[in-house]
Each structure stands twice: as structure tokens, then as C-alpha cells.
Chain A
Amino acid sequence: MSVAKEFTKGLWKEVPPFRLVLGLCPTLAVTTAAENGLGMGLATTFVLVCSNVLVSLLRKVIPGKVRIAAFIVVIASFVVIVELTMQAYFYPLYKVLGIFIPLIVVNCIILGRAEAFASKNTVIPSIADGLGMGIGFTLSLTFLGGIREIFGNGTLFGHAIAGASFQPFSILLKAPGAFVCLGLILGAMNWISARK
């Protein structure tokens, strides 16, 4: 498989939240605004790429029986780095994402890619895989956050885009709205794929 193919599979064919239906916890919880989705996505992408690189480099050193423990330590370290950096330079975003930043550790996309891909492949394809999956995840979260923000609040990235007469569907900003949006997007993607 070519590097380009590893990269692009994360963007449509295996885009994590909608096609693999992985990582739904942050997908549903933080996408109340496009900006939050983007921040969460970028944080996850960073952890995903870094952990893929390290796992791929260490894949021959780590004994099979303790590989999951080793992967988790690697992933958790990068998550703490993200958390401290975000706290130091992007405090408002850090406040909004809250507990979901530490929870990146248990995001099954990251452990899934480490286990299913990086531990069996060399560094370059692992970077492509992590980057593709991460960007796919980021775009999905930003898209979902954008939809919920536009219809739930009448804004996009904090800028008002709807007229004054717009009545926001505030349910979209609550948990049920997240499920409804996710379901509609999943359905739409299945429909498009089936037509091809």
C-alpha cells in the first residue's frame, strides 16, 4: 500500500467517528461549537501522530505481552504534554474541553491505530496513517461542531452568521442534538457510499 493511500483512507473511507464509529465520546461531548471540535481534533491528531511514530519505532523492542501497557504509557505521556501546553497557551480552550483532554488517553482511535497499524508498519506509513486519521477526525468534529453551532446558536467560529430573526434550536447544543446530528451525518455518508 502506498503512503498516499494510508493518508487518504482516514479522510473518507475509514474516517474515524462516522465510518469506524470510534471515538464517539469526545465527538458527542465537545462539539457544541466548531472551534471546540477543531481544538479537540488537533489535540487528538498531535497525540495520534506522535504515538504512531514512537510505537512504530519501538515495535521491535516492545515484547508482545506488555505491548498494550507500553502503548498506553506512550499515549498518556503525549496527552499530558498536550494538556500542559494547552493550559499554558490556550487557557479558554483548555477550560472548555476540560476532562476530555485527559480522556484522549482512552480514545480508542489512538490505541486502535497503534495496535492495528503502527505496531506492524514502518515509521513513514505510520505518520501518514496517523495524520490521515487525525485530520479526518478533526474535520468530522469541526463539521459536526459547525452544524450544531450554526443551528443551535446562529454562529460559526463565534461569528454571528444568522439574521436577528433567527430562532436557535437550542436542543442541538445539548446531548440529544449531538446524537441526532451524528445519526443524520452517518446516514448521509452511508447513502452517498451506497450510490457509488
Chain B
Amino acid sequence: MRELVRMVVVLTVICAASGFVLSYVNEATQAPREYQLLKYVQEPSIKAVLPSYSNDPIKDRIELTMGKNEKGEPVKKTIFPAKENGKVVAIAYGSAANGYHGPIDVMVGIDPEGKLTGVSVMTHTETPGLGARVVEPAFSEQFAGLEMSGQLNVTAQGGKINAVSGATLSSKGVVNAVRSALEVFPQVKKEVF
């Protein structure tokens, strides 16, 4: 009996100590881990949508709280500013909309006037060979230079974006994601520039 109690106590103490140490390490490495994740996962997209810059957009990132979602929780948005000589020349941030199969995440770059500097599709679950072709530059390069207007639509709706053939819904998904990014731009602009 005494041996049983001792086993339980020793193992419990070891596990509890391990839990304490690990939660401390988890807390301590939180910020650098987030930075690394952004750096290696999102920076390629950020680089693709922004004009040339001389700062580190990941380090200078700005966390904005914009309104609330349906559940009443505040919505956070991370803005990556591109600076040249200390002046913000463009900003990049993520946006999402539903495609044919599921959400399409895009990164959009926008200059201070609200013109798109670039669009890059980050993650999606569209059909390989059809909808998945929205990641190709031939499609995403069409967005550069456009702003929030009727032109920012697929050609079938009177816009200037040629949809990927056979993948109208996927193409519309990207367009919708870009449009919703531009919709919040005035609000972001107030905070950033």
C-alpha cells in the first residue's frame, strides 16, 4: 500500500513539474515562434504583392482590431507595411472568401491611394488542374493596378479579370476575397498612414 502511494505521488509530482516548465517555455517562445511562422510561411506571399521595400514588414507588422464577427468576438487583422526611407509605400494583408470547395486565402498589396500592387493566393482547396490554376501568375497578375470599382470583377460581370476557364467560381472566390480586402481599406488606411 505504501509503495502504491509513493508511486502515485512521485509520478504526479514529476508530471506536474514537467507541465509547469513546459507552459513557461511555451509562453517564452510564443513571440519568436509567431515571427518565424510569418517570416517563412507568409513572407513569400508578402514579397510577391508588395513593391520594393527596405524594411522588415514582418517586424513592423501592425495588429488592428476591426469590428466584431457574428459571435461578438473582436476580429484581428495583421497589416504588413512596406517602407522606403521610413515612409509607408504600400501595405499588405490577408483576406479570404469562399471558392468552389472552401475558403481561399489571399494576400493583397495596396498602395496609399487604394490601388492594388499585387495579389497572391496563399492557401486554397480548389480542384487541381482547374480551380487550382488561380494561383498561377497569369491569373493573379491581372489584379495589379486595379482599384475598388466595377473593373474589379470577372469579365462575365463586366469587369477586367479573365476568369480561369472552367473555374468561374474559384475565380470569383479570389475576386471576392480581394474585394472584401479593399472594402476594409479605408478603415485600415486611417490607422496606418
Contact = CB atoms under 8 A, between A and B. Distances in A.
Interface of A: 58, 61-63, 65-66, 69-70, 73-74, 76-77, 80-81, 84-85, 87-89, 91-92, 95
Contacts of A66: 7, 10-11
Contact of A80 (B15, B25, B39): B25
Prevailing SS type, chain B contact patch: helix
Given A77-B18, A77-B21, A88 B11 contact: no
B29 A88 contact: yes
Nearest to A62: B10
Contacts of B33: 84, 87-88
Contacts of B155: none
Interface string B15-59: 100100110011001001100110110000000000000000000
B22 A63 contact: no
A70 B36 contact: no
Given A69-B11, A70-B14, A92-B40, 13 more contacts: A63-B10, A66-B11, A70-B11, A73-B11, A77-B22, A80-B22, A84-B26, A84-B29, A88-B36, A91-B36, A91-B39, A91-B40, A95-B40
A85 B15 CA distance: 21
Interface residues of B, number: 19
A77 B10 CA distance: 16
A61 B9 CA distance: 11
B63 interface: no
Interface in B1-15: 3, 6-7, 10-11, 14-15
Nearest to A91: B36
A66 B7 CA distance: 7
Ranked nearest first, the 7 interchain pairs of A and B with the lowest CB-CB distance are A88-B32, A91-B36, A88-B29, A77-B18, A88-B33, A84-B29, A63-B7
